[in-house]
Amino acid sequence: MTFQDIFKNDFLTQAGTSISVLQITFMLLLSFALGLFIFFVYKKTFQGVMYSKTFNVSLVALAMVSATVIMAVTSNIILSLGMVGALSIVRFRTAIKDPIDIVYMFWAISIGIMTGAGLWVLAIISSAIIGLVLFVFSKANIRYEPYLLIVRYDKGELESEIYKQLDLSVNSYKVKSKIKSPDNYELTVDIKVKSDRGGLVNTLDAIDGISSVAMVSYDGEYAS
Q: Which of 118, 138, 158 is the last residue of a domain?
A: 138
Shared domain for 122 and 149, answered yes or no, is no
Decide: helix, strand or coil at residue 191: strand
Angle between helices 77-87 and 53-75 (to 10 degrees): 140
Report d(CA 167, CA 7) in Å as an integer: 78
Provide the pLDDT for residue 51. 74
Residue of 73, 67, 69, 70 whose CA lies nearest to 31: 67
Provide the pLDDT for residue 130. 92
**Which amino acid is residue 179, in one-letter code?**
I
The string over 143-171, giving b where at least 16 C-beta atoms fall within 10 Å of a residue's C-beta and e elsewhere, is eeebbebbbbbeeeebeebbeeebeebbe
> Domain with 207 in it: what CATH number?
3.30.70.260
Provide the pLDDT for residue 224. 37
Provide the pLDDT for residue 126. 92
H or E element in which residue 119 lies: none
Q: Which of 138, 163, 194 is the last residue of a domain?
A: 138
**Which amino acid is residue 108, in one-letter code?**
A
Provide the pLDDT for residue 14. 47
Total domains in the fold of the chain:
2
* Residue 223 lies inside a defined structural domain of this protein: no
Report d(CA 81, CA 185) in Å as an integer: 65
Provide the pLDDT for residue 120. 86
Angle at 71 between CA 70 and CA 77, to 5 degrees: 85
- Consecutive 10-residue runs of the chain (224 residues): their mean pLDDT? 50 56 88 92 80 85 87 68 54 65 88 87 92 84 72 85 84 84 86 69 84 76 44
166: left (phi over 0), alpha (psi -120 to 50) or beta: alpha
Shared domain for 92 and 155, answered yes or no, is no
Chain centre distance of CA 11: 45
Q: Is the pTM of this model over 0.75?
A: no
Shared domain for 92 and 134, answered yes or no, is yes
